[in-house]
Every structure is written in structure tokens, then in C-alpha cells.
Structure 1
Amino acid sequence: MTKKITKISAQKSKGRYNLDLDGKFAFGISEMTLIKFGLAKNRELNEKEINEIKKYEDIARAISKSLNYLSHHLRTEKEIFDKLRSLEFNNATIKAAIACLKDEKYLDDKIYAENFVRTQANLQAAGPLVISQKLKLVGISNTDIEAALAVYKINDQMENALSLAEKYQKHYSKNSIIKQKQKINQALYAKGYDSDLIKATIDKLVFEEDNQQQLENARRTINHIWSRYDKYGREKAYRARSYLYGKGFPAEIIDQVIGEKENDGTGSDFK
């Protein structure tokens, strides 16, 4: 049984048309579908042809939605798949749309990964571990990740890590040297650098031992925590000392500030 195209009319949306069969609205089609099947008024369509048109139209719509999504910036195959699923396209339609987009070079996970690595390295100074994790989240394969990271040379990683470390060193300068190193280590690890590179980076930093600054920092710290340990009675000094050790202050400075506190007859904070 066939049906006749009785009317093709433009929709408000540019490039979209209504298709009427036997005097009734059947379904909407894109300009791509109209041209692909050479649709025109009075043409007869059998059931198989109608189903093929509908199937192609679904793919054309999926491609159109994908191109709009791609217009902002590069996407991965997984991102396109997830986006089309959220728009309720079926898997077969999505796979066909993705295959078309790959053929036309709109989608290329390898190029995406290479661009992402360059951006993260140059603009964010991110390390390879974080970059790898982010790429996995958007569906990039391990093979493509390894290939993309190969251009992020160890010298470039070291340069980025050292630049970050110097900034962290200034930020944590009021801490003890041991604590500074701990915090720099943690910060670089969070940025995605491995332990060997972090150690090599920290070894390049110059830490100046300033006993007066250390003493001031220790006094400031114990002022903050001294009353917290009142409930421990005779163990108060012991617990305060343990806290300062944990912060990386040297033993002689800890002994001095604890002694000052214990000898302070009023129990008031340092001024």
C-alpha cells in the first residue's frame, strides 16, 4: 500500500519541513532528508520507503543536534553519545550519527586528546596524572591518552611544576620549612605530578632558615591553640608540644615557646 505526498510546507524553524501524506500531516523532515530522498508533491511512497525516510530523519536530527553541541568547542564520542541519549535518541541512531560525524572529521578523539593536553599543560600547568583522569572521564581510550601525553615532555612538566612550587612556597612561607615542603608536595600531587618529579622539584627550591620568623610563627600558632588544651590539665604542655611537632617546628623553638607559656604567670597570650 502506498501513500501520496500531498503537501510539503516549511516550518518556522529554518531548514525544517512538514510532510503531509494523503492529505494528513505525517511527520517533520529536515532539508537534508528532503534532498536525500528527492521528496516532492504527488510522489508515491510505499511503507518501506516511509520507514527508511523516518530512520534517516532520526539520524539527520541527531547529526543536527550534535553539530549544534559541537559549535561551542570540541567534543568526544562519549560526550556526543551522552548528549544524544539525554535527547532520547536510540542507540542505533546515535551510532549512525557518530559514524557520520567521524567520517566528516567533526569527531576525532585523538585530536581532542592532543588539544586537551596542550591546553591543560600550557594554561593550567596541570600534571599528566590529572590530565589523564580528566580524559578518561570524557571517554578517551588509554591508547589515545598515552599518545597525547607523549608530547608533554618531562622538561616541560618540570618547568610547570617548578613554577607552581615557587608560588606555593611564597604562599606557605609563614609555615615551618618541613610544613612548607609537605604542603608543596600535596599541592603538586593534587595538580597531577608524580612523586619522583615532585621530589626533584622541591629539591630545586631554596629554603632559608629564619629562626626569628620560625619563632614568631610558633608563638602565633601556640597562641591559637594553647587554651584548647586546658581540659588536659598536666598534659596540656605535652599535647601542645606534640601539635607543634606535627607542624614541623624544630625542637628548640618548641621548647622556647612552651617555656614562655608556662612561665607566663598570667597565662595570657603573647603580644
Structure 2
Amino acid sequence: MIRILLSKLRLADDLSKLHSRALNYLAHNLRTVYEVRTKLAEIADDPDAIDQVIAQLADQRLVDDGKYAESYVRTVVREEKNGPDWIRQHLKDKHVNSDDIEAALDRYFPADEVIRIGVGVAQKQLKSHHNDSAKMAINKTKNLLMRRGFPYSDLDQVMDQIDTDGMVEQDQELIDKVAEKYWRKYAKLDHYEQQQKTKQALFRKGFLMDDITSALERLSEG
């Protein structure tokens, strides 16, 4: 009888210590159930004890993956840098279930907000590519949007809200400047090789072939 009582007391003490460690871990940041379980597994090798502590924390509303997902989505939306797919991946890495993820996104990151934030990200990115052709700058911007977690299906809608006409109009002035640079670079080659090397370099820069041909004609005439 005494042995059983002592065993229960030790278990209660172990659970109390484990609960205290969990509280310390939760003191400054919200955590998912997976994160808390992983942390406790570093200091205890009793899965049942960990399950009991997790259940106690859940009853106390100290761990709640749904609330974690909502808080995380709100934070990312405020930062206006990343899209919903980026959020999904982060939360999946934290082992938050899909229902909680989608519920948080539906509530705090509606479709119109995805487009609005995507437009802001795209506009900033385009400004950093002022030395690229319009085609190259737009492609680089779309690639960045996908890396930031904006759905591929939204990219055209995002770009349609950005005025890129001015970039297209600047392409001739830009291509002439870049073409002259490569023309001088390959000046020691024979005329045909000089043209081919310059054409290839401009194509890699994202200029359209018709514009490249016109630029080379202007160079040859000059």
C-alpha cells in the first residue's frame, strides 16, 4: 500500500515538474501542441506523462493549435510580405492540422487581401529591377511572388493591377544602352560573331527578339 502511494506521489511530482517546464516554455510565445510535445520529450521519456501534461495545458487553454494558427496568420498579414501558401507551409511544419490552417486563412487572409498584399510586394520588387527589360522584370517579380507563397493562380490578377506600360516604353532606351555595352565587349570578334554574342546576351536579359534585332540594326548603322 505504501509502495503504491509513494509511486503515485512520485508520478504526481513528475507531472508537476513537467507542467512547470511546459509553462516556462510557453511564457513568452504561443506554441503548437507539436512544439510543446517535442520540448517535453527532451526532458522526459514517458509518453503517457507528456500526454497528461498536454491535456492539462489544453484544458487550461494554454495550447490550442487553432488559436496559434489564427495568431500566426494575423501576424503575417500585418507584415504584408508573404502569401497564404507560405503560411500553410509554416503551419504544416508545426504539425497544425489542415482544418485549423484553412479556418484561420479564411477568417484573416481573405482573397482580396491576398491580391492587395501581392500587389504591394510586386510593386516594390519591380522597382529593384529597373535595369532589366520589362519582360525580365515581370518574370522575376512573378517568381518572387511564388517564393513568397502567393498562389500561381493569383499572379496574373496581381500583375494586372500594376501599370507596367512605362517599363515597356523604356525598353528601347534600355536595350540600346545594354546592347552597346555588349557590342563593345565583343568588339574583337568578327562582325558575325559580335552580332551573335550580343544577341544571345540580350536574349538572356529578357529582351524580345524583334527588339534585339532592331537594336543591332541601329548599332550596325552607327
| Unpaired runs of at least 5, structure 2 | none
For residues 133-153 of structure 1, the C-alpha deviation after alignment (integer angstroms, 9 at most, x for no partner) is: 000111100111111111111
Partner of 2:19: 63
Question: Hey, which of these two has a bigger chunk of strand by percent?
Answer: 1
Asked if the contact 2:186/2:197 (under 8 Å) is kept, the reply is: no
- More displaced, 210-219 or 169-178? 210-219
Stretches (4+) displaced over 4 A: 209-214, 224-236, 256-264
**Residue 121 in structure 1 maps to residue 121 in structure 2:** no
Partners of 2:170 and 2:58 in 1: CA distance: 64
**Residues 214 and 249 in structure 1, CA contact (< 8 A), matched pair in contact too:** no
> How far is the alpha carbon of 1:191 from its aligned partner?
1.2
Shift of the 153–210 alpha-carbon distance from structure 1 to 2, 3 Å rule, reads: closer
CA contact (8 A) 2:40 2:50 kept: yes
Paired residues for 1:37-52 under 5 Å: 46-52=2-8
The aligned residue for residue 197 of structure 1 is 154
TM-score, with length taken from structure 1: 0.71
In the alignment, residue 86 of structure 2 is paired with which amino acid?
V
Moved more, 196-205 or 118-127: 118-127
Q: Is 1:102 the counterpart of 2:67 in the alignment?
A: no
Match of 2:102 in 1: 146
Separation (CA, whole Å) in 1 of partners of 2:191 and 2:5 = 90
Does residue 1:182 correspond to 2:139, yes or no? yes
Residues 1-271 of structure 1 mapped to structure 2, 5 A cutoff: 46-151=2-107, 152-207=109-164, 208-209=166-167, 214-216=172-174, 219-220=177-178, 223=181, 227=185, 235=193, 237-255=195-213, 258=216
Counterparts in 2 of 1:47 and 1:172: CA distance versus 1, 3 Å: same
Distance 1:53 1:88 in 2: 17
Is the Cα contact below 8 Å between 1:125 and 1:160 reproduced in 2?
yes
What is the CA–CA distance in structure 2 between the aligned matches of 1:57 and 1:222, rounded to whole Å? 79
Q: Cα gap change, 1:216/1:181 in structure 2, threshold over 3 Å: closer, same or farther?
A: closer
Counterpart contact for 2:183–2:194, Cα < 8 Å: no
Deviation at residue 203 of structure 1 after TM alignment = 1.2
Greater helix fraction, Structure 1 or Structure 2: 2
Q: From the CA coordinates, give the structure whose radius of gyration is larger.
A: 1
How far apart, in 1, do the equivalents of 2:96 and 2:47 lie? Answer: 19
Q: Report if the CA contact (8 A) 1:176-1:249 is conserved.
A: yes
Q: CA deviation at 1:193?
A: 0.9
Count of residues in correspondence between the two structures = 220
Which whole-Å CA distance do the structure 2 matches of 1:82 and 1:229 have between them?
63
Long gaps (5+) in structure 1: 3-45, 265-271
Which residue identity does 1:120 align to in structure 2? V
Per the alignment, residue 34 of structure 1 pairs with none
Q: Residue 148 and residue 212 in structure 1: after superposition, are their counterparts in 2 closer, same or farther (change >3 A)?
A: closer
Identical aligned residues as a percent: 25
Task: For residues 119-162 of structure 1, give each alpha carbon's deviation from its aligned partner in whole angstroms, at most 9, with x where no partner exists.
Answer: 11111432110100000111100111111111111111111111
Question: For 1:248 and 1:210, how far apart are their aligned partners in 2?
Answer: 12
Instruction: Give 1:196 shift.
Output: 2.0
Q: Deviations over 1:198-239 (max 9, x none)?
A: 111111111114656644455347736975898999655324
Task: State the secondary structure of the residue aligned to 1:174.
Answer: coil
CA RMSD of superposed structures (Å): 2.9
The higher relative CO (CA closer than 8 Å, separation ≥ 6) is in 2
